Amino acid sequence: MTVQTNVETFLNYVNGEWVASSSNEVTSSLNPANKNEVVGLVQKSTKEDLDQAVAAAKQAQISWRKLSGAARGEYLYKVANILEENLDDIAMTMTKEMGKTFPEAKGETARGVAILRYYAGEGMRKVGDVIPSTDSDALMFTTRVPLGVVGVITPWNFPVAIPIWKMAPALVYGNSVVLKPASETAVTAAKVVDCFAQAGFPEGVVNMVTGSGSVIGQGIIDHRDINGITFTGSDQVGKQVGLGAVARGAKYQLEMGGKNPVIVAADADLDLAVEATISGGLRSTGQKCTATSRVIVQQEVYDEFKEKLLAKVKEIKVGDGLDGETWMGPCASESQLNTVLSYVEKGREEGATLLFGGERHKELGLENGFYVQPTVFENVSSQMSIAQEEIFGPVLALMKVNSIEEALEVANDVEFGLSASIFTTNISNMLSFIKDMDAGLVRINAESAGVELQAPFGGMKQSSSHSREQGQAAIEFFTAIKTVFVKG
């Protein structure tokens, strides 16, 4: 192990300044491709640090909300340009900090730029409706007002796109923001927030406090001056956020896990289905909330699909995401790797057949990283853990069915309902899938893990708080409707 020199320390951003935590403590953010490499040191913040950020945000919001939407949007255009100028550096930091490949990290950062531009324009779009009053002398209409201070709690798997898709609409609609990013990717978050800092927002409008979920995350849940909380992450934490917010009457929005199916019908284009299953299931090492994890195949084409899939999975090159040859990087952390390995074990114990993978990679060059092989199980039945619980790793469970009706039944037989795909050339299969699949995002002849920033995003069942993010849907969470009645 070589001793690293010059490891950079990243500060909190509070009231327009970069400041150290009152704890005087930092934590190391590690590279999952090589656990001996520290990507940066981040603040281990305290409740007092959070209080300062919230106080700054509360004060700043008073003037921020008075600006026109267009003026607020101008700041977002600036952030977009700065992010674009720093795209390679931020993407490289993301790859080093959470392991996704550099091309994927660049794609995500470019998406961040596009989201900022989309919401910058949102400052000039309509915010209400005129509703005919029964009083013919009156004018009645709705308008939208910001919530106030918004707490943003984000996961590590999209460390650029998720903070941006929450912060950009929050800001353009007149809220101020306190971001608590995932500890796993706090360096990437600091670099994103630096783009906001460089854009010259009035002090206190944008704040970031890093630190543990139990202190800073919980602090956001409990803080009486935080008016809205937007959360993306796990099921368990999400429910805590929701309960805490209800208890003190704050608005909340939760985007949580998935157990996303792909259905392969007997009439599907199998090559396309194989490509999309691999891309949807294994890119980003399966660590997308929309990743495919259950592959439900009609028995007529099961064997052919399986052979084609396995042939491709065996070719996947696992390695450091910065290596141009790599298709799949490591798991984002040791605990994530252990979760994947424990589900492989459970799969075996519960009677599924491991067709490929399931082992940690320990070859020379990979021994210090959290690498796991892409993994495929078959003979998976619906009640097994690997068919029910979110693994968040590169594990595909093949399930054989006799009809499209059975495929839909199996697909719906989980607690989650985020995204789902079907591969078919038959219009009635498509129509029943659109109608009967319980998922917030249904995709036909396309992988389950695709999201467009201008369209609403969110899940059904246990996958979300039944709210939606992104596109025009964001206004629903980040503002409140005010009904106005005017009589001259």
Residue 352 touches ligand NAP, criterion: CB under 6 A: no
Under the binding rule (CB under 6 A), the answer on residue 388 touching ligand NAP is no
Shortest Cβ 182–Mg ion spacing (Å): 9
Considering only residues 50, 237, 265, 337, which one is a binding residue for ligand NAP as defined by CB under 6 A?
237
Q: Interface with Mg ion by CB under 5 A: which range of 86-94, 176-184, 187-195, 363-371?
A: 176-184
Number of Cβ within a 10 Å radius of residue 487: 9
Q: DSSP letters of 442-482?
A: EEESS-S----TTS-B--EETTBSS--BSGGGHHHHHEEEE
Q: How many residues does the chain have?
A: 488
CB 147 within 8 Å of CB 199: no
Residue 265's contacts (CB-CB under 8 Å, 6 or more residues apart) are 298, 404, 407, 422, 423, 424, 425, 426, 429
Size of the site for ligand NAP (CB under 6 A): 32
Query: Nearer Cβ to Mg ion, position 183 or 470?
Result: 183
Burial track 466-480 (b if 16+ CB lie within 10 A, e otherwise): ebbbbbeebbbbbbb
Structure-block tokens of residue 72: 């607020």
Catalytic residue from among 108, 289, 331, 390? 289
Task: Give whichever of 30 and 160 is closer to Mg ion, judged by the CB atom.
Answer: 30
| Closer CB to Mg ion, 78 or 96, in the complex | 96
Cα-based angle 49, 162, 329 (whole degrees, multiple of 5): 105
Residue with tokens 């596109």: 471
| Least Cβ distance, residue 75 to ligand NAP (angstroms) | 25
Is 22 one of the binding residues for ligand NAP (CB under 6 A)? no
109 binds ligand NAP (CB under 6 A): no
Residues whose CB is less than 8 angstroms from the CB of residue 192 and which lie 6 or more positions away in sequence, other chains included: 83, 90, 112, 159, 160, 163, 164
Rounded to the nearest 5 degrees, what angle is found at the Cα of 434, between the Cα atoms of 431 and 436?
Answer: 100
Position among 154, 230, 448, 462 found at the interface with ligand NAP (CB under 6 A)? 154
Contact between 133 and ligand NAP per CB under 6 A: no
DSSP string, 407-447: HHHHHH-SSEESEEEEE-S-HHHHHHHHHH---SEEEESS-
Of Mg ion, ligand NAP, none, which one does residue 390 interact with (CB within 5 to 8 Å by kind)? ligand NAP
* SS3 category, 181: coil
Helix (H, G, I), strand (E, B) or coil at 31: strand
User: For residue 402, what are the contacts with CB-CB under 8 A and spacing of at least 6?
Assistant: 298, 299
Q: Is 390 in the site for ligand NAP (CB under 6 A)?
A: yes
- Alpha-carbon dihedral 90, 94, 100, 103, rounded to 10 degrees: 10
Stretch that binds Mg ion, among 30-38, 65-73, 107-115, 429-437 (CB under 5 A): 30-38
- The neighbour count for residue 30, using CB atoms within 10 Å, is 20
According to DSSP, the β-strands at 9-10 and 26-31 are unpaired
Among 212, 412, 426, 432, binds ligand NAP (CB under 6 A): 212
Smallest separation, CB 95 to Mg ion (Å): 11
Is 195 an annotated catalytic residue? no
Strand 12-14 and strand 17-19: pairing?
A: antiparallel
Q: Does 377 bind ligand NAP (CB under 6 A)?
A: no
Least gap, CB of 285 to Mg ion (angstroms): 13
93 binds ligand NAP (CB under 6 A): no
For residue 289, indicate whether it is catalytic. yes
| For Mg ion, the closer CB: 210 or 277 | 210
- 465 touches ligand NAP (CB under 6 A): no
Q: 289 touches which of Mg ion, ligand NAP, none (CB within 5 to 8 A by kind)?
A: ligand NAP
Of the ranges 2-10, 52-60, 108-116, 230-238, which one interacts with ligand NAP (CB under 6 A)?
230-238
Told to check if 375 binds ligand NAP by CB under 6 A, we report no
Q: Report if residue 256 touches ligand NAP, rule: CB under 6 A.
A: yes
| Least Cβ distance, residue 109 to Mg ion (angstroms) | 17
DSSP 127: -
Number of other residues whose CB lies within 10 A of the CB of residue 323: 14
Q: Which of 255, 378, 390, 469 is catalytic?
A: 255
Single out the residue of 39, 278, 289, 313 in contact with ligand NAP (rule: CB under 6 A).
289
Write out the binding residues for ligand NAP, residues 161-180 only, by CB under 6 A. 180
Q: Which of 159, 169, 204, 213 binds ligand NAP (CB under 6 A)?
A: 213
| 293 lies in the binding site for ligand NAP (CB under 6 A) | no
DSSP labels for 199-253? TTPPTTSEEE----IIIIIHHHHH-TT--EEEEES-HHHHHHHHHHHHHHT-EEE
User: Beta-carbon neighbour count of residue 360 at 10 Å?
Assistant: 18
Does 221 sit near ligand NAP (CB under 6 A)?
yes
Q: Using CB under 6 A, which of 39, 53, 56, 182 touches ligand NAP?
A: 182
The reply on whether position 14 binds ligand NAP by CB under 6 A is no
For 89-92, which contacts have Cβ atoms below 8 Å and span 24 or more sequence positions? 89/191, 90/160, 90/188, 90/191, 90/192, 90/195, 91/160, 92/322
By beta-carbon proximity to Mg ion, the closer residue of 179 and 182 is: 182
Q: Which spans of this chain sit near Mg ion (rule: CB under 5 A)?
A: 30, 97, 184
Q: Which spans of this chain sit near ligand NAP (rule: CB under 6 A)?
A: 153-158, 180, 182-184, 212-214, 217-218, 221, 232-234, 237, 240-241, 255-258, 289, 390, 392, 418, 459, 463
| Active site positions, annotated | 255, 289
